[in-house]
Structure 1
Amino acid sequence: MIATVVVCLFVTVGIANTATAQASDNDAQDGFLILQTNLHPPYQELQNGMLSGYSVSVLNCVFERIDVGYGFAIAPRQRNREMVRNGRADGFFLARISETMDEYAVATNPLALEKWMWVSSAIKSDDPRVSRRPKPGDFTTVGAILGSNEAEWLTEQGYTDVMRVPSIASLVGQVAAGRVEYALVDKNSFEIARNELGMGADKFMVQFERYAPLVVYFSNSYVAAFPDILDKLNAVLEFCETRPMRLEPWERDAIEQTQLPTVRQFASSPELVAHVQDQLAGAEQPKEDQKHLIDAEWKALARSGQSSDTAAEILLNDLSEHLRRFQSSVGNQVAEAFVFDVHGQIIGMSRLTSDFDQSDEAQFQMIESINRDQALIADIWYDASTRTFLSQITVPVVDPDTGRTMAALTVGLNVSAALRPDS
């Protein structure tokens, strides 16, 4: 492991996995790259002169796994994009997915999910502005960080007079002083800045606007030179992302009040119960070692989007077709739906799942649930197989005649669609 020093406004250190004497000779062979970034706590931040943060730790893990040399350089976000556009850098991170950037760069799967909030000065609970969000053209003073993902999005949405300030601390201070009525910021970054400024939560009103998946963009020229690296990176991301985004109380309440009743109704519907009974009737229970073999083959092929013979057979059964009709009926709020039996084996799915055996997953506990009205609502995490951020809802499927649990239904809720304010 060697240190590669890159200068671009700031000096930072990236890690390369090639020996110093061999680095220049091997660069063209191993895809050695320089990624531009900007300081954006808690995702990218400097600690004792070293670049750290959540996204940096994920990328360190990824590049080590795929054995590619790399370095990081810090510069303002706008300059980073221009360097990639002009072919002077191999890529940059973290960025929201944008049609404009898609013209000159290729996005990876998301590394993180930002929660964008409107932040304004605190007002009384009976003030009519409590439920108000600024709209384009309504003469409200709207602020964002200069060159940020939020500032770009505001421009695309038609906000014309956006006050752009150089840092999150400055923006929070402008809101507190009343010079900016509403600021659009990432929730994590806002809370860090607010705490560093010594301001309490009671000084602000915070309203959810949207989720924003964040990716690494690689330049078209780099992808053309090394076409396999992007697929390799995406394939190992799931092993390097270990931090789910916890559902906040309001998010969990929204799911329980809006989506959970629909899932429960579907799980107890005569049609679904009949399809589950048909799949279970006469089904042979494979031995444990055979189940492991089926699961291993399933996983290996699913990573490349292929179906094993077992998966292909399940995808064609009547239960899977019924699950697809359900998913289609609720629109883009649901990314997947699948049913597994009391042994944890998938018996029906609307689309290919990442694995066959669910007995080692948290939702398997619903099989042994004594309280038939219980439901498990999981925290938000990125699912590579659906390419969406999901919160999975799992409920038991109960035999109406005997009252015993036959199976469990899991519905993958697309939180970006299901929890936005206008959903």
Structure 2
Amino acid sequence: MSLAMLFKTHWFQSLLAFFLVLGASFDAWSEARPERLLLATQEWRPYQYQENGQMKGPGIEKLKCIMRVMQQPYQLTMTDWDRAQILVEVGEQHGFFLASPNSFRSKYADYSASVMSQVWSWFSLSDSIDPQSEMFKDEVVVTAIFGSNKWFWLHKAGYRVEKKPRQSVTLVELLLSGEVGAVLANDFVMEEAIKSLGVSHRAITRKVMKEKPLGVYFSKKFTKQYPLFISEFNQAIAQCEER
């Protein structure tokens, strides 16, 4: 084979390799993001709620900031909390928010960095309760929002959980009626519920338990299809915190 033919063959192979790499790059870019991100959530005042057909609250505003930074089209669906998680597990939604991490959710979804934080506290009508005591666990009926991380935690820790409230105001009502002796709830959410019912804060006592992060869970199917998405999402969280 002549030198000219060798050069031509080498040039053709190099050009072919370049277009293959370029094509792969375009494919990778097209798969880097979904056309529209589908996220499910719950009405959880004051973090996120609907008013006059609009979704509002600090959780919604934080998510909007993240989507603006990423320039990512999105769609939010507000539904029951347990249904929001099931929709992600079966693949009908890409993720759910605001959520704290637990081992069950992590079986089918991957967790983002913390978007916001929350404080878990015990609320009761008596300041003498000891939620850590075995007597309390054996004798006092307690609850939390059904399907929440707190609700599952109570079950796992061995507390008597006999109610399945789906609204934060229901937690207050169960407490005031004596149907439960204590509830485990988010400080921010419980304060809003107490205020909305016109109940005096002095009537209900609070004992701080711990602080937990709140983030977004994305289905493992989604993160497998878009492996760079959570990293970019987390970077956008950091940028929104600086604003």
1:134 Cα deviation after fit: 5.0
3-state SS, counterpart of residue 66 of structure 2: helix
Q: Which has the higher contact order (CA 8 A, sep 6+)?
A: 2
1-structure distance, mates of 2:213, 2:202: 28
Deviations 1:200-249 (A, max 9, x none): 11101111111121110001111111111110110121221369xxxxxx
- Name the residue aligned to 2:131: 133
Does the Cα contact within 8 Å between 2:31 and 2:226 map onto a contact in 1?
no
Identity %: 26
How has the CA–CA distance of structure 1 residues 186 and 45 changed in structure 2, closer, same or farther, with 3 Å as cutoff? Answer: same
- Name the residue aligned to 1:332: none
One-letter amino acid of the structure 2 residue matched with residue 188 of structure 1:
F
Does the Cα contact within 8 Å between 1:176 and 1:203 map onto a contact in 2?
no
Residue of 33, 38, 45 corresponding to 1:34: 38
Does the Cα contact within 8 Å between 1:36 and 1:92 map onto a contact in 2?
yes
- Name the residue aligned to 2:84: 80
2-structure distance, mates of 1:82, 1:165: 18
- Name the residue aligned to 2:123: 119
Q: 5+ unaligned residues in a row in structure 2: which ranges?
A: 1-28
How has the CA–CA distance of structure 1 residues 162 and 208 changed in structure 2, closer, same or farther, with 3 Å as cutoff? Answer: farther
Deviations 1:180-209 (A, max 9, x none): 111001111111111111111110111111
- Name the residue aligned to 1:215: 215
Q: 5+ unaligned residues in a row in structure 1: which ranges?
A: 1-25, 124-128, 244-423
1-structure distance, mates of 2:30, 2:237: 23
> Is the counterpart of residue 109 in structure 1 residue 107 in structure 2?
no
- Name the residue aligned to 2:206: 206
Deviations 1:389-408 (A, max 9, x none): xxxxxxxxxxxxxxxxxxxx
Does the Cα contact within 8 Å between 1:122 and 1:202 map onto a contact in 2?
no
- Name the residue aligned to 1:148: 148
> Is the counterpart of residue 58 in structure 1 residue 62 in structure 2?
yes
Deviations 1:236-272 (A, max 9, x none): 21221369xxxxxxxxxxxxxxxxxxxxxxxxxxxxx
Give the alignment's TM-score, normalised by structure 2: 0.81
CA RMSD of aligned residues (A): 2.0
How has the CA–CA distance of structure 1 residues 242 and 184 changed in structure 2, closer, same or farther, with 3 Å as cutoff? Answer: farther
2-structure distance, mates of 1:140, 1:242: 44
More off after superposition, 197-206 vs 233-242: 233-242
One-letter amino acid of the structure 2 residue matched with residue 109 of structure 1:
A
3-state SS, counterpart of residue 214 of structure 1: strand
Deviations 1:87-134 (A, max 9, x none): 1211101111111111111100011111111111145xxxxx25x225
1:59 Cα deviation after fit: 1.1
Runs of 4+ in structure 1 deviating by more than 4 angstroms, as ranges, are: 26-29
Deviations 1:365-396 (A, max 9, x none): xxxxxxxxxxxxxxxxxxxxxxxxxxxxxxxx
Does the Cα contact within 8 Å between 1:30 and 1:69 map onto a contact in 2?
no
3-state SS, counterpart of residue 211 of structure 1: strand
Give the alignment's TM-score, normalised by structure 1: 0.48
3-state SS, counterpart of residue 39 of structure 1: coil
One-letter amino acid of the structure 1 residue matched with residue 200 of structure 2:
G
1:166 Cα deviation after fit: 2.4
2-structure distance, mates of 1:147, 1:101: 11
One-letter amino acid of the structure 2 residue matched with residue 63 of structure 1:
M
- Name the residue aligned to 1:180: 180
